[in-house]
């Protein structure tokens, strides 16, 4: 069942009924100011950091669902009837409803009793504000006499404190109301130099800033008393819950249309110029007034919207594909690329499943997010790499998380996730392949953000690899530490105390439990490092990493191979996990993917064996589950993985993050049909028709789809912020379609479905536009290349002469 459709030519997903199985959301803003918005106008906004600079309130896990948002109310002054034109929160049945989510904007339109409503929400590039452009049209033959009420609830900046520290919070709020602008200035009197404003383009019939006055006693947002009576209270909040609401009267003749603009913005003032006049307690408005004046004009708002659309056309244009499969086309060309930008911006901080107060930016998460983003804006990827590597520990390890506002490692979570540093090598390598900007390796970067510790980035990568080598266990496999990629495989935790964090509790000295997954990742990282070192003419380093990789590979065959597949780990007792010897957790997806990606078993046939075992034991119609059999009880020595009921999350759910590793692995063994089949199973667009099962948005990946042991297999959770975005993008564009940046040129090596007779790709690479057409003339995936009319040996297109604008590539696959 569908709740909408893809409008590919407008690059929008169009939701046609408001009661989607879960709120289907979108993101506003792609730089510093961000908002989350659902298809019924729920959501919230923040500046840079969802925890520390939250502008508006949202109530997670609420009943009814999706409470808190950018709610507008229409009130018919004649009949006294009112409704929410975005359906929520009043849920009055609408005659027409539609929500269009696009890149960085959302448009909600509806109609009731001949009154047409449309609201376009977006954040202009370069600004710290969001625009709500509302258009009302009277489609009746008689005049309409309406009231439009806006509403938002201000958050007292620190979202965690806001939701917990009520003894202080109920007495702290302050606002200012000047003409049509409501200012939220809690704590501005003391140490904050920032405030929020909520402005309206029209003369007001009234306003409210105190929630209790607007809503009335014991009422909710579904029935505010001010709206029910068609009359604002002109309340001025001091303490309690500050909010913003404008009341605008709108008279429309038959057929008449009117635009009303609301702005919600964030503004900082110089610390020594906060008040105007100086010495007063009045906000200095010199900085925000011109911005407000600018965007309250419809022509400026329109212009900003068009600029945003063009910006996204430019970004998405960098990779465009035309294949025989519409799901591939729209995910690659629009939605998957867009989701990669969102994960780059948010890491795992703020979604409808991540509350924005729990986690900062993850080291392993953000480094992997870069893989799918780097081609869009390499300069921002560069900056991110330098920020992340400055949090790296001197011993080569990593803070597991850092705060986006301070860019410092998070001490509460600490380090000891032994896969973390290796991802940095993959991220830097992807940046170098994409940009050819080798100067980044010479950047002097701190460790632990400590002045005086700087070394070239190149050395950061060396230390990252050394970190693994310094921590080998009894089988010479890498020690796992607190966890590797699977955050829930906590082999040193042994927690028997309720509520203890599985991630940060360590009860063992960690010298026994080992990870085969890290071994595979290490070999992969060594290969990337060898390529980097070779380019830098550092033969000693090439030799060193190749030797380490070869030794690690030997170790894997000695201790990490189970006969039919790669083992997963060794526990604290020295017993294998992910082995036939186990009763539960006999085979895991992660090592099959990463080891084959690293090339292990390509020659001795074990790669194919491992992948066939995946097909036999782990593949389901909804994707490949993490392991089988799922854990039916809690195992003290395995940790959080066994805390979830089987079929969910890390306990045998389908992780959309690592399904692509198997897709890539299948391309390594050159089985294009299998790779594409797996790609399609978790492709959200291909799952649109079962939205009532899948539940999450059909235009973006979710972290997890319930596995075969679950009550409802196929039900997705944790949409948007997941490494699934980057890895699926990499799998389809770089490995299945096979267009992959190499250090010295663009590689074209597709391994795709034997049923396709070809496909086309345009790819911007280092300032040159490659127009690539691929034709299938035989069932295998053997490639021959013709570049601008000349045949080229191998699969890498050498870099063209300077000033070349376009390169035409003909690829024949036999
Ligand atoms: C979550 C974490 C990620 C981890 C994955 C598997 O998505 O953000 O770091 O690798 O779960 O546990
Ligand atoms: C939980 C989740 C996992 C996440 C981790 C860190 O364990 O299951 O996906 O990575 O928390 O927050």
pLDDT for position 406: 85
Tell me how far the alpha carbon of residue 621 lies from the centroid of ligand 2, in angstroms.
25
Check if 487 is active-site. Answer: yes
Task: Answer yes or no: are the C-beta atoms of 261 and 240 closer than 8 Å.
Answer: no
State how far the Cα of 23 lies from the Cα of 796, in Å rounded to an integer: 45
Tell me how far the alpha carbon of residue 487 lies from the centroid of ligand 2, in angstroms.
6
pLDDT for position 799: 96
Element (H, E) at 661: helix 659-668
Counting atoms of ligand 1 from 1, which one is nearest the CA of 488? 12
Give, using CA atoms, the residue closest to atom 10 of ligand 1: 485
Give, using CA atoms, the residue closest to atom 5 of ligand 2: 487
Most distant CA pair in the chain, distance: 84
90: Cα within 13 Å, side-chain hemisphere: 20
Neighbours of 27 (CB within 10 A): 27
- The residues, any chain, with a CB within 8 Å of residue 323's CB and separated by 6 or more, are 329, 737, 756, 759, 760
Residue of 346, 353, 360, 365 to test ligand 1 pocket, by largest number of atoms within 8 Å of CB? 365
Measured CA to CA in angstroms, residue 643 lies from 498, 517, 582, 715 at distances of 11, 21, 18, 19
**Per-10-residue mean pLDDT for the chain, 814 residues long?**
98 98 97 97 96 96 96 98 98 98 98 98 98 98 98 98 97 97 98 98 98 98 98 98 98 98 98 97 97 98 98 98 98 98 95 90 96 98 97 97 87 94 98 98 97 98 98 98 98 97 94 99 98 98 98 98 98 98 98 98 97 98 98 98 98 98 98 98 98 98 98 98 98 98 98 96 98 96 96 97 97 97
Tell me how far the alpha carbon of residue 42 lies from the centroid of ligand 2, in angstroms.
25
The residue among 152, 180, 155 whose CA lies nearest residue 71 is: 152
Quick one: which ligand is closest to 517's CA? 1
Tell me how far the alpha carbon of residue 584 lies from the centroid of ligand 1, in angstroms.
22
Ligand 1 and 484: CB distance under 6 A: no
**What is the C-alpha end-to-end distance of the chain, expressed in Å?**
39
Ligand 1 and 485: CB distance under 6 A: yes
Counting atoms of ligand 2 from 1, which one is nearest the CA of 649? 8
Q: b/e map of 502-541 (b: 16 or more CB within 10 Å)?
A: bbebbeeebebbbbbbbbbbbbbbbbbbbbbbbeeebeeb
Task: Answer yes or no: are the C-beta atoms of 119 and 85 closer than 8 Å.
Answer: yes
235, two tokens: 């309340």
Ligand 1 and 46: CB distance under 6 A: no
Ligand 1 and 650: CB distance under 6 A: yes
- Predicted model pTM: 0.97
Residue of 371, 487, 627, 722 to test ligand 1 pocket, by largest number of atoms within 8 Å of CB? 487
State how far the Cα of 717 lies from the Cα of 352, in Å rounded to an integer: 10
Ligand 2 and 354: CB distance under 6 A: no
Angle between helices 336-346 and 378-389 (to 10 degrees): 30
Tell me how far the alpha carbon of residue 659 lies from the centroid of ligand 1, in angstroms.
13
pLDDT for position 403: 82
Ligand 2 and 649: CB distance under 6 A: yes
Ligand 1 and 776: CB distance under 6 A: no
pLDDT for position 412: 87
Q: b/e map of 453-470 (b: 16 or more CB within 10 Å)?
A: eebebbbbbbbbbbbbee
State how far the Cα of 211 lies from the Cα of 778, in Å rounded to an integer: 69
């Amino acid at each position: 069942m569908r709740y909408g459709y893809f409008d590919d030519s407008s690059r929008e997903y169009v939701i046609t009924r408001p009661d989607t199985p879960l709120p289907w959301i979108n993101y506003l803003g792609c730089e510093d100011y961000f908002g989350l918005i659902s298809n019924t106008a729920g959501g919230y906004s923040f500046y840079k950091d969802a925890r520390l600079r939250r502008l508006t309130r949202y109530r997670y896990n609420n009943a009814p669902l999706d409470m808190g948002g950018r709610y507008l109310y229409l009130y018919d002054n004649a009949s006294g009837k009112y409704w929410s034109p975005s359906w929520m929160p009043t849920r009055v049945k609408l005659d027409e409803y539609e929500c269009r989510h696009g890149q960085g904007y959302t448009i909600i339109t509806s109609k009731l009793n001949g009154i047409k409503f449309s609201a376009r929400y977006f954040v202009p590039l370069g600004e710290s504000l969001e625009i709500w452009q509302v258009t009302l049209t009277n489609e009746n033959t008689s005049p309409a006499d309406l009231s439009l009420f806006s509403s938002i609830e201000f958050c007292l900046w620190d979202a965690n404190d806001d939701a917990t520290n009520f003894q202080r919070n109920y007495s702290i709020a302050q606002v200012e109301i000047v003409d049509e602008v409501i200012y939220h200035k809690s704590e501005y009197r003391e140490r904050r130099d920032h405030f929020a404003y909520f402005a309206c383009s029209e003369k007001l019939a009234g306003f409210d800033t105190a929630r209790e006055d607007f809503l009335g006693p014991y009422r909710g947002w579904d029935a505010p008393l001010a709206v029910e009576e068609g009359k604002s209270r002109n309340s001025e909040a001091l303490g309690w819950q500050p909010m913003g609401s404008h009341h605008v009267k709108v008279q429309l003749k038959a057929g008449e249309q009117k635009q009303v603009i609301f702005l919600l913005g964030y503004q900082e003032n110089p610390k020594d110029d906060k008040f105007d006049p100086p010495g007063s307690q009045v906000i200095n408005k010199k900085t925000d007034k011109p911005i407000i004046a600018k965007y309250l004009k419809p022509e400026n708002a329109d212009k900003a919207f068009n600029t945003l659309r063009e910006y996204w056309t430019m970004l998405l244009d960098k990779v465009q594909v035309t294949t025989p499969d519409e799901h591939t086309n729209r995910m690659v060309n629009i939605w998957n690329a867009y989701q990669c930008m969102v994960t780059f911006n948010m890491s795992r901080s703020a979604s409808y499943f991540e509350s924005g107060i729990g986690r900062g930016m993850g080291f392993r998460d953000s480094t992997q997010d870069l893989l799918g983003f780097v081609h869009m804006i390499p300069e921002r990827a560069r900056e991110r790499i330098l920020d992340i590597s400055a949090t790296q520990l001197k011993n080569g390890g990593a803070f597991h998380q850092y705060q986006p506002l301070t860019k410092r490692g998070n001490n509460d979570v600490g380090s000891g996730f032994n896969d973390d540093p290796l991802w940095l090598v993959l991220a830097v390598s992807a940046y170098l392949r994409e940009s050819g900007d080798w100067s980044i390796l010479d950047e002097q970067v701190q460790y632990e953000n400590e002045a005086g510790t700087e070394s070239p980035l190149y050395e950061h990568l060396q230390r990252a690899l050394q970190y693994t080598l310094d921590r080998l266990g009894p089988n010479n496999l890498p020690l796992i530490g607190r966890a590797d990629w699977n955050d829930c495989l906590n082999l040193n935790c042994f927690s028997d105390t309720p509520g203890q964090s599985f991630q940060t509790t360590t009860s063992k000295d960690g010298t026994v439990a080992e990870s085969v997954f890290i071994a595979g990742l290490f070999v992969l990282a060594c290969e990337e490092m060898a390529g980097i070192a070779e380019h830098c003419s550092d033969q000693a380093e090439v030799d060193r990493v190749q030797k380490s990789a070869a030794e690690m590979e030997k170790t894997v065959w000695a201790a990490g191979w189970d006969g039919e597949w790669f083992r997963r780990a060794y526990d604290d007792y020295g017993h294998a996990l992910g082995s036939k010897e186990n009763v539960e957790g006999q085979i895991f997806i992660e090592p099959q993917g990463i080891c084959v990606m690293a090339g292990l078993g390509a020659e001795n046939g074990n790669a194919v064996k491992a992948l066939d075992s995946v097909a036999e034991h782990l593949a389901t119609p909804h994707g490949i589950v993490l392991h089988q059999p799922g854990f039916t009880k809690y195992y003290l020595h395995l940790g959080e993985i066994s805390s979830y009921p089987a079929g969910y999350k890390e306990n045998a759910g389908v992780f959309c993050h690592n399904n692509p590793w198997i897709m890539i692995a299948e391309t390594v063994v050159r089985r294009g049909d299998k790779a594409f089949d797996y790609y399609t199973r978790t492709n959200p667009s291909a799952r649109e028709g079962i939205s009532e099962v899948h539940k999450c948005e059909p235009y973006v990946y979710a972290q997890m789809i319930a596995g075969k042991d679950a009550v409802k297999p196929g039900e997705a959770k944790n949409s948007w912020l997941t490494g699934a975005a980057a890895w699926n993008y990499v799998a389809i564009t770089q490995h299945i379609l096979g267009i992959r940046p190499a250090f010295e040129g663009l590689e074209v090596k597709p391994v795709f479905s034997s049923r396709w007779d070809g496909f086309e790709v345009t790819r911007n690479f280092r300032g040159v536009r490659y127009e690539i057409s691929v034709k299938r003339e035989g069932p295998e995936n053997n490639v021959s290349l013709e570049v601008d009319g000349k045949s080229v040996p191998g699969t890498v297109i050498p870099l063209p002469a300077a000033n070349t604008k376009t390169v035409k590539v003909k690829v024949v696959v036999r």
